[in-house]
């Protein structure tokens, strides 16, 4: 059995799996980053209580939703998390935009998320074929959106929070996850009944890699947001969602793809953390 990291890298390197739109020879994403978290990591419990203990899943709860007849302790589980960085072509095109998403970004949001979903399925299959039970929490029928008392729009399982636990990055002012490959990314994860070595977290604070939270400087993402949804107080999810619903989603349908897509992400490009960790020396 090859390592899960190798499997993910190889799967993403095959153009048929990772293309910006069906039949294209252009990739949807660059080389992924992969991190591992222990299913028993206490940070998962902290996040569950912080977001909403009544609806947010711990790894063992998500696993139990997928395999209700199996009793699995958190210590027996590992969470495999990955980051799919936007390509340079997509980022450069998106940098030029001021109020509407680039077509490249909209394609990566739509077809790219299909790549991410297929990768989740492929990773689950990889484990199951090797006799190891596995599930992708966001693909489970029980996964649902919810409202967090503290944070507003939320869901049963957050890919960004999972990636944070798996050592892949910290949060920025705009709520996005700043990774070693920057913040212009998508994330995904799978839980498997196998003990793997966790990836060390090279941070002690959940916002450590954001320049605003470390030194009070930057605010570039706030200046990029046409909806005024990012301020020194953080990310206003209501304003963000409203702008996407009222403005960019119809734009994608009418001017770009012919169907509506929740595409925006202007706050993820033309900023110091677009494709790198700005905190790293
Ligand atoms: S653009 Fe600046 S303020 Fe915004 S998340 Fe990145 S580092 Fe933080
Ligand atoms: S996704 Fe768009 S509307 Fe939402 S915060 Fe970023 S730039 Fe603003």
Q: Ligand 2 centroid vs 262 CA: distance in angstroms?
A: 11
Q: What is the pLDDT of residue 246?
A: 98
Q: Which ligand is nearest to the CA of 172?
A: 1
Q: Which atom of ligand 2 is nearest to the CA of 266?
A: 7
Q: What percent of the chain has pLDDT over 70?
A: 100
Asked if residue 1 has pLDDT above 80, the reply is no
Q: How confident is the model at residue 261 (pLDDT cuts 50, 70, 90)?
A: very high
Q: How confident is the model at residue 262 (pLDDT cuts 50, 70, 90)?
A: very high
Number of domains in the chain: 1
* Any ligand 2 atom below 6 A from CB of 264: yes
* Range(s) of the domain holding residue 56: 4-268
Q: Which ligand is nearest to the CA of 224?
A: 2
| Torsion on CA atoms 139, 38, 278, 99, rounded to nearest 10 | 10
84 within domain boundaries: yes
Q: Which ligand is nearest to the CA of 280?
A: 1
* Any ligand 2 atom below 6 A from CB of 221: no
* Any ligand 1 atom below 6 A from CB of 271: yes
243 within domain boundaries: yes
Q: Ligand 2 centroid vs 245 CA: distance in angstroms?
A: 11
281 within domain boundaries: no
Average pLDDT over residues 248-265: 98
Asked if residue 136 has pLDDT above 80, the reply is yes
Asked if residue 139 has pLDDT above 80, the reply is yes
Q: What is the pLDDT of residue 22?
A: 94
pTM summary value:
0.96
* Any ligand 1 atom below 6 A from CB of 221: yes
Tell me how far the alpha carbon of residue 31 is from its chain's centroid.
15
* Any ligand 1 atom below 6 A from CB of 112: no
The answer to whether 135 touches 63, Cβ cutoff 8 Å, is yes
Q: Whose CA is nearest to atom 4 of ligand 2?
A: 240
The answer to whether 27 touches 87, Cβ cutoff 8 Å, is yes
276 within domain boundaries: no
SS (H, E, C) the chain: CCCHHHHHHHHHHCCCCCCCCCCCCCCCECCCEEEEEECCCHHHHHHHHHHCCCCCCCHHHHHHHHCCCCCCCHHHCEEEEEEEEECHHHHHHHHCCCCCCCHHHHHHHHHHHHHHHHHHHHHHHHHHHCCCCEECHHHCCCCCEEEECCCEEEECCCHHHHHHHCCCEEECCCCCEEECCECCEEEEEEEECCCCCCCCCCCCCCCCCCHHHHHCCCCHHHHHCCCCCEECCEECHHHHHHHHHHHHHHHHHHHHCCCCCCCCCHHHCCCCCCCCCCCCC
Mean per-residue pLDDT of the chain: 97
Q: Whose CA is nearest to atom 6 of ligand 2?
A: 267
273 within domain boundaries: no
Q: What is the pLDDT of residue 14?
A: 96
Asked if residue 13 has pLDDT above 90, the reply is yes
Best residue for ligand 1 mutational test, from 185, 210, 216, 225 (most atoms within 8 Å of Cβ): 210
Average pLDDT over residues 44-48: 97
* Any ligand 1 atom below 6 A from CB of 220: yes
Q: What is the pLDDT of residue 72?
A: 86
Q: What is the pLDDT of residue 150?
A: 86
Asked if residue 151 has pLDDT above 90, the reply is no
170 within domain boundaries: yes
Average pLDDT over residues 88-112: 98
Asked if residue 275 has pLDDT above 90, the reply is yes
* Any ligand 2 atom below 6 A from CB of 266: yes
280 within domain boundaries: no
Asked if residue 2 has pLDDT above 90, the reply is no
Q: How confident is the model at residue 223 (pLDDT cuts 50, 70, 90)?
A: very high
pLDDT tens per residue, range 67-93: 998 888 999 999 999 999 999 999 999
Average pLDDT over residues 23-49: 97
Average pLDDT over residues 225-237: 97
Q: Ligand 2 centroid vs 176 CA: distance in angstroms?
A: 10
């Amino acid at each position: 059995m090859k390592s899960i990291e190798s499997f993910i890298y190889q799967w993403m390197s095959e153009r048929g799996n990772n293309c910006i739109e069906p039949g294209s020879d252009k990739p949807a994403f660059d080389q992924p980053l992969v991190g591992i978290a222990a299913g028993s990591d206490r940070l998962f419990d902290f996040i569950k209580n912080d977001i909403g203990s009544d609806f947010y899943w711990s790894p063992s709860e998500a696993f139990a939703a997928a395999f209700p007849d199996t009793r699995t302790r958190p210590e027996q589980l590992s969470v495999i998390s990955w980051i799919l960085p936007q390509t340079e072509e997509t980022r450069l095109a998106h940098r030029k935009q001021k109020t509407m998403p680039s077509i490249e970004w909209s394609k990566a949001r739509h077809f790219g998320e299909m790549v991410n979903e297929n990768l989740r399925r492929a990773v689950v299959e990889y484990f199951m074929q090797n006799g190891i039970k596995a599930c992708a929490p966001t693909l489970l029928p029980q996964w649902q959106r919810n409202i967090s008392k503290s944070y507003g729009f939320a869901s049963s399982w957050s890919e960004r929070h999972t990636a944070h636990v798996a050592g892949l990055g910290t949060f920025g002012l705009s709520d996005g996850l700043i990774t070693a490959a920057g913040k212009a990314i998508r994330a995904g994860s799978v839980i498997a009944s196998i003990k793997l070595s966790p990836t060390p977290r090279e941070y002690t604070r959940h916002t450590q890699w954001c320049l605003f939270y470390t030194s009070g400087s930057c605010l570039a993402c706030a200046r990029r947001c046409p909806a005024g949804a990012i301020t020194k107080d953080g990310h206003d999810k209501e304003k963000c969602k409203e702008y996407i619903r009222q403005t960019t989603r119809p734009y994608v349908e009418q001017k770009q793809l012919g169907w509506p897509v929740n595409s925006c992400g202007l706050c993820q490009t033309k900023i110091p953390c677009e494709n790198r960790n700005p905190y790293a020396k």
